[in-house]
Amino acid sequence: MKSRIRENRINTEEKYSTERQAVINWLLEQGYPPLPVAPIQDPKRHHKLVKADPQRQIWEHCPLNEKLQPLPLFTGKNPSYLDESGKPHLLNHRQYQKRSPNTKELQQWFANPANGIGTLGGWNNTTWLDFDVKCFSSQEECDAAVTKILQVPELQGTLVERSHSGGWRIAVKVKNWPNGKPFTNFALHRDGVHVGEALGAGRFTVLAPTLGPSGNPYQSINRAVPVEVESLEAYGIYPKGTNQITNQWTDVDWALSYLKALHPSRADDYDEWLKVGMALHSVDQSLLDDWDAWSRQSSKYQPGECQRKWASFQRSGVGIGTLFSFAKLDGWQNPHNSRNQRRSLNAISTIKEYKVTNQWNVPVSLNGEIGWLVEEDDQFNFHPKCNFDFQVERELSSEDGGGLVLQVQRSVDPPNLQRRMILHSIDYSEVTRFVDAMKVALGCGIVCNLKKEHLGAFIHSRIQEYRDRGGKLYRLSEGIGQQSDGTWVFADCQYTADGESTTEEESGWIFNNNIGGVEKMPLPEIATPDSEALPRLLSAMQKFHGSSGIYPALMVLGYVAAGVHYRTIMLREKCFPLINLVGDPGSNKSVAANNALSLVGWLNNRGVLHRASVSATYETLKLAGSLPLCLDDPQRSRELDELLKGLFNAVPRKVRGNYQEPHSPLIVCSNHAVGDDQPATLSRLIQVPFYRVNDGDKTAWDEMQQAQRLASGALPDLIKLGYPVQQIRALASQLRSHLPYAHARIADSLGLITWYAQAVAKLANFKSDEIKSYVVDQLCKTANDADSVANSLTDFLDKLNALHAESLIGMWSVRVVETSEIGKALAIHLSVVWPVLDRMFAPIYSRKVIEALIDKAGGRIKSVQKFHRSKDESLTYQRLLITPRTDSDGNPMLPKEPDMVSRRCCLLPIQIVSEFISLWHQPNQLGSSADVTDVTTTLSESTTVAVSEMYELDTNASPDVT
């Protein structure tokens, strides 16, 4: 019975997959993009999440329905898919409004047999009429209404489907829309009730044989090429309500409205014709055909010229504001708000009426200048006050008061020279600040003789015009890269938190080109998304670094890939490791750092900090959102160790009211090992040693440089890696067994970087398994090194060595003694030793900590032993031993040892310190079996005896030297 059920299920799945593939093939043949739709998912596991918007006092939350249940993220009707493992993914379908998916994408989307199929409206001018059964009183009424429409002869051959819930889908190609504007919600009578939606450009529609949320499949009634109709009204389908034009127009809608109002003569003027094209290009790439159609009004029209110019357009400052200015002068009227309609400035009566009715005393603009119309000798003359004019392109909000994006043009400049600038609100609180800000932003001088109240009134009027034409409030980017809501914002592109391309209009973010203020923050150069960017870079790196040098370089790539998720990781873990590339000059560690930084667009050392102060480092890390930076060749100092220790937990600084919170990680590139004498710092970073290699191909340098310039095309793929916590923790657990002596956090840090290094290798089709072997064989050994795990007592003894080598301590403060308590031991007179050690090294531990560790090591912290009486006597005595005086016969005259005095001290067992005090002598002075008291010199035998006695204390009287 079970086998029969299983066989039936397999047959059902195979039949479904076959039908789905047939639909995919049909869509591709007819020029429609096939898109996946995942089955509805449990909203308790996958629910919608409204992002925080502090400006509107909205905090991150999960919206609920009327039954107080979370709204599903995967509805069974939105573009999405289950991967082969069954994990659901949302699909940003906007990019498929202009291109069809490739074979690789289709294979990925439809690998899971549970996924359904759909497509987008707008392709081939197709609209999908969706009749919703819920909008009718009964199923019968819905069926009757649709049947009546389908009885029209012209529609009997078009595409028809049934939805899973009993609704209908009819596909048609509409030639004409009311008011030239497509509508969405429709009724079956003028001013009738809403019964369905016309799914046009950018709207997703589900197709048969998809299984709907109800468990029923969508059904194909007639799969045929949609027929073309003159209008929907001819078949009894009307926009719901009146004219369906709302104040929620996009920039494309406004641009087309302005274009329609332009006087045909503007197409004859080359400069104005060009500016119209540039403005349309800045709004949307899809408006080329509209510009070409408008240009045909001119007798100067040349076929193909619009296309050629369009391809050459770059961001030039000419935007929708320019189009608005032209349209307004040509009589354009706001279709949304008749009370705000204005006539052109050449109607003097309108100007008089405008001044009387407006509460603001607002200057006017004419011929690209701002000023006043003054009645003189029965006529109006224009008195300019500013040699420029501007329009508001965007209104901005930010923590420091927001501002405006302006399109500015000076009257003294060519007509096609229009500049785009960001004006902060604090910069138009005073006229002088406004003028200075304009000069800096435009890079040229301006003239502004307006008073403060008149400038404010004019700016207000421009903002009101912006709002009247449907303008909305945007946010000014907080820095470069990832913003607080996860969106990635750069000068020329934006990505969602999931790594999909997005726009200013969709994200609501505007890039702040004044980041860093007077001290400009360098900007990364983000290349076009390219799936070959990583393979190309890694191929060049492998040639240059060779087989022995590629793995340290790969770890740096992994660190940068992890750094792309810095905000996410820091929010969850409250810490993020640092990485120290250490090695001799010429070991290519800086080359590896630059290769890695190119993944996030840092080229030509733009992401490298040289000799930066702590404040400058913090400020740069504050403004770079999840874009790793590199601190190159820092000087060894206690300040550096404290800086790095604080960055591990992103500890913020507050300097003169400037709150500096790091938002990016830091690579440290140095010849010396950072933190090698500070265990607290050392445990917070991963040391990656670089060595000189001979198997690299230096001729690959140019290839690697070219790959760097395009490497940031991999950024979307790095963003999509996400932060797989469980996988990274599992890898860290595996590495922990190879780190028995290292600090516990080292395994977590290595696991994080190693996982992302492997992920980068997989994206580049590189052998990722060997990376783990390198980490275990090389980096784990480095982390396990004695210097890496030195505790405070070991560090203390190391520093005693240094002090002894400089003769800052000696027999007057530290010596080997024989005791009845613990046998042979090192006696340390801490009252003398500690002040010297503290002054020279400023250790992070205290004297009390050392005393506690001595006690724990089996020593004694309260003892009394004999030492030389003073430093001067002891040093003089030792010098005379080394270069003794001689008698008249040439025999050495040994000095008398200084008097011994009893002092309080600590005792450390000799077996703990033997390795350290043996270093107080030259290597050839101690044999392999020598005791610490067996010291020989090149002096005579009697001198050797005397020197040896210095290290052996008779607990009674001092040795009698004659």
Mean pLDDT, residues 680-685: 82
User: Is 955's pLDDT higher than 70?
Assistant: no
The pLDDT assigned to 920 comes to: 64
What number of helices (H) and strands (E) belong to the chain? 30, 39
Q: What is the 3-state secondary structure (H, E, C) of 42-93?
A: CCCCCECCECCEHHHCECCECCECCCCCECECCCCCCEEEECCCCCEEECCH
Give the span between the Cα atoms of 59 and 171, in whole angstroms: 41
The pLDDT assigned to 54 comes to: 55
Instruction: Quick: pLDDT tens for 486-523.
Output: 999 998 899 999 999 998 888 889 888 777 554 567 88
DSSP letters of 328-357?
Answer: HHTT---SS-GGG----TT-HHHHHHHHHH
Of the pLDDT bands very low, low, confident and very high (cuts 50, 70, 90), residue 179 is confident
Give the span between the Cα atoms of 644 and 651, in whole angstroms: 10
Cβ burial 265-288 (10 Å sphere, 16+ → b, else e): ebbeeeebbebbbbbbbbbbeebb
Instruction: Quick: pLDDT tens for 616-644.
Output: 899 899 999 999 999 998 888 888 888 88
CATH 3.40.50 domain position(s) in the chain? 548-787
Q: Are strands 80-82 and 88-90 parallel, antiparallel or unpaired?
A: antiparallel
Mean pLDDT, residues 889-910: 88
Sign of CA dihedral 118, 121, 124, 129: positive
Of the pLDDT bands very low, low, confident and very high (cuts 50, 70, 90), residue 152 is confident
Question: Taking a C-beta distance cutoff of 8 angstroms, is the pair 621, 642 a contact?
Answer: no
Give the Cβ contact number of residue 753 at 10 Å: 27
Q: Comparing 222 with 399, which gets the higher pLDDT?
A: 222
- Which residues on adjacent β-strands are paired with residue 580? 668, 687
> CA dist 823 to 286, 794, 805, 902, 954, Å?
90, 21, 26, 18, 13
Give the span between the Cα atoms of 631 and 770, in whole angstroms: 28
Largest CA-CA distance found in the chain, in angstroms, rounded? 138
Give the span between the Cα atoms of 618 and 635, in whole angstroms: 17
Structure tokens at 862: 């309260």
Choice among 80-89, 349-358, 414-423, 716-725 with the minimum mean pLDDT: 349-358
> CA dist 330 to 272, 719, 869, Å?
13, 47, 103
The pLDDT assigned to 787 comes to: 44
Of the pLDDT bands very low, low, confident and very high (cuts 50, 70, 90), residue 534 is very high
User: Is 960's pLDDT higher than 50?
Assistant: no
Question: Taking a C-beta distance cutoff of 8 angstroms, is the pair 301, 332 a contact?
Answer: no
Instruction: Quick: pLDDT tens for 740-790.
Output: 878 888 999 999 999 999 999 999 998 888 899 999 988 988 887 644 445
Which residues are CB-neighbours of 263 under 8 A, at least 6 positions away? 330
Question: Taking a C-beta distance cutoff of 8 angstroms, is the pair 328, 257 a contact?
Answer: no
Of the pLDDT bands very low, low, confident and very high (cuts 50, 70, 90), residue 938 is very low
Give the span between the Cα atoms of 157 and 176, in whole angstroms: 20
DSSP annotation of 779: I
CATH no. of 548-787:
3.40.50
Of the pLDDT bands very low, low, confident and very high (cuts 50, 70, 90), residue 1 is low
Give the span between the Cα atoms of 570 and 628, in whole angstroms: 14
Q: How far from chain centre, in Å, is Cα 280?
A: 30
pTM of the predicted structure, to 2 decimals: 0.54
The pLDDT assigned to 956 comes to: 35
Q: Which amino acid is at 597?
A: L
Q: Comparing 791 with 950, which gets the higher pLDDT?
A: 791
The pLDDT assigned to 234 comes to: 85
Torsion angles phi and psi, residue 147, rounded to 5: -60, -40
Give the span between the Cα atoms of 545 and 472, in whole angstroms: 51
User: Is 424's pLDDT higher than 70?
Assistant: yes
Q: Comparing 958 with 257, which gets the higher pLDDT?
A: 257
The pLDDT assigned to 316 comes to: 60
Mean per-residue pLDDT over the chain, rounded:
83
Choice among 74-78, 321-325, 419-423, 684-688 with the minimum mean pLDDT: 321-325
User: Is 931's pLDDT higher than 50?
Assistant: no
Instruction: Quick: pLDDT tens for 185-214.
Output: 899 887 778 889 999 888 899 999 999 988
